[in-house]
Structure 1
Amino acid sequence: MIDLLLDPFRYAFFVKGLIVATLAGGLCGLVGVYITLRGMSYIGHGLSHAIFGGFAASSLIGLNYYLGAGIWGLASALAINRVSRNRRIGADAAIGVITTASFALGIALLTVFGNRGPNFDAALFGSIIGVSTADVWVLAGITVFTVAVVFGHYRDLLFATFDPEVADVSGVRVARTDALLMLVLSLSILATLTVIGVTLVAATLVIPPVVARMLTHRFSRMLWLSTVVGAGSGLAGMALSYHLDVPSGTAIVLVGAVVFVLVLAVTGGGRLRRTAGPGAVVGPARVRPPAG
């Protein structure tokens, strides 16, 4: 049994895939807390599809995948953020229009001109074989950047998440904070597509924070719990992916789903309710406006 478990570690591609899957799961779990609490869970699904348009365009013009798809994804995120401020449209409608149009454009480009870049199926469903050393370093860099943003702008992000209108008049630059969060989200999705895939990355953004939400009412604890659940799902999912010969993204999401079902059975899901205000998920003290 031990030999069976250790056997895949003989292969360099598996070791790199395991590192990337663990980092990707933890990264998505961390960023997903903010997305879930804002009621924008659908944005992960939408942005992954939008970035796919950038993936297709980059492969056609010979531009570096991370540069082309990254610019495309960030532009889509900022467009969604701007359009969603229009109360007559709403975030869900903005996400639906912008991201599905981008995904459709990507499919059209690849259909007409063919794929000259990374494997099409790997981009959709994830693959441990396609993970390179560069992917490991890029994801590690984005993870460090995201952690720095979350802790460096902790109060601004927290206050803008729960009460953006009050935060705006209290000195928090909500528009800039939202743009920073969209940048982090876009980079996180971009870096995890290789191992998780376009069609499944949204689940890795939603499942860990939902599990964490069932386990705690405290925001700070929710952050690290979601990160741990995401990283653990990535680690276990990648190992199952090798032994069961299924796409890595599929295995990672299924592991997360099993964790969700188990926690739901134990807790009864009583804490799964939409957060009503700043003091509902942040620990013993209610959030106060940052000074200045």
Structure 2
Amino acid sequence: MGALIQPAIAWSDVFSFENYGELLVLMRNPLIAAIALGIVGGLIGTFVMQRDMAFAVHGISELSFAGAALALLLGGSIVMGSLAGAIVAALIIGLLGARARDRNSIVGVLMPFGLGLGILFLSLYEGRSANRFSLLTGQIVAVSDTDMWWLVGISAVVFIGLILVWNPLRFDSTDPQSAEARGIPVQGLSLVFMLLLGAIVAAAVHIIGALLVMALLVTPAASAMRVAHGPLSVPLLSALFGLVSAAGGILLAIAGTLPVSPYITTISFVIYIVCRLIAWRRGRAVHTHAK
């Protein structure tokens, strides 16, 4: 008999809970930032889904990635760089993409441009390769006290902004024609929403990476809409799903050797599958009862 083939990867390569308590204390900053991001990302995600702007999230993240990469190259603040890139993208989409068709074409142009710029800046960067990789897939150990307060502050500003425009934004998101007829400044409201979205995308890029931001800004809301329908139940459930995904991903990543993003995206996806199954069972039960 030939020798047994050893697996390429062992369970201990993915999870190791040795000294977990000590590591948890050290990871306080990313955990706090992820909790704030998960809650606010889940809330704003409901409007992203209602306004059919999931594609725009990805477009903003690419320019946010370019801004973060430029900041890394120049030795500046990565949080500020990603925020600047995201705000520029949000302004471009908000000002030029009033209609869905225009918006999608603009996003389609911005995505490769932002990704190309980001790759250019990273190729010129001569520092640690881990810093480059983290901009695409997220980072867990590089959240300093200053970064943590910036990320929490951005999340707080977005949260307050959402509360201030919640009712007119919900009206405009569900029935834009009636909202405009009622005198709601839909264009200005749309621009405000894009700026709030750009800010939270920038924060998400810092935690989960540019490639996977939709796991926190789209998937929780998509999951909530499968099992809830009320004007308050959907955003609250979406915020809960975002919180569980972000915080759960950080807690698992502390014990793992992989980047944080696979853990967050897996939790978020599992929640979505469970919600789809619940919705399917409900629909089947209603159909059976109707017979």
What band does the TM-score fall into relative to the shorter chain?
0.7 to 0.9
How far, CA to CA, are the matches of 2:34 and 2:80 in structure 1? 21
Structure 1 residues 245 and 147, CA gap change in structure 2 (3 angstroms): same
1:161 aligns with 2:165: no
1:122 aligns with 2:131: no
Structure 1 range deviating more: 254-263 or 166-175 = 166-175
Give the counterpart letter for 1:54 in structure 2.
Answer: G
Counterpart of 1:250 (choices 250, 262, 266) is 262
Counterpart of 2:98 (choices 80, 85, 95) is 85
Counterpart of 1:138 (choices 150, 156, 165) is 150
- What SS is found at the alignment partner of 2:53? coil
1:13 aligns with 2:41: no
Q: 1:130, 1:194 within 8 Å by CA — same for their partners in 2?
A: no
Counterpart of 1:262 (choices 274, 282, 288) is 274
How far, CA to CA, are the matches of 1:81 and 1:256 in structure 2? 28
C-alpha deviation, 1:224, in angstroms: 0.9
Structure 1 range deviating more: 243-252 or 63-72 = 63-72
User: By percentage of residues, which structure has more helix?
Assistant: 2
Which 5+ residue runs of structure 2 have no aligned equivalent?
Answer: 1-15, 284-291
1:179 aligns with 2:204: no
1:69 aligns with 2:82: yes
Aligned twin of 2:8: none
Q: 2:226, 2:276 within 8 Å by CA — same for their partners in 1?
A: yes
Say which one has the larger Rg: 2
Number of residue pairs matched? 266
Structure 1 residues 209 and 115, CA gap change in structure 2 (3 angstroms): farther
1:235 aligns with 2:247: yes
How far, CA to CA, are the matches of 1:71 and 1:269 in structure 2? 45
Give the counterpart letter for 1:253 in structure 2.
Answer: T
Q: If the length of structure 2 is used for normalisation, what is the TM-score?
A: 0.83
How far, CA to CA, are the matches of 1:100 and 1:50 in structure 2? 9
How far, CA to CA, are the matches of 2:126 and 2:234 in structure 1? 41
% identical aligned pairs: 26
1:59 aligns with 2:72: yes
Moved beyond 6 Å, runs of 4+: none
How far, CA to CA, are the matches of 1:61 and 1:241 in structure 2? 29
C-alpha deviation, 1:225, in angstroms: 0.8
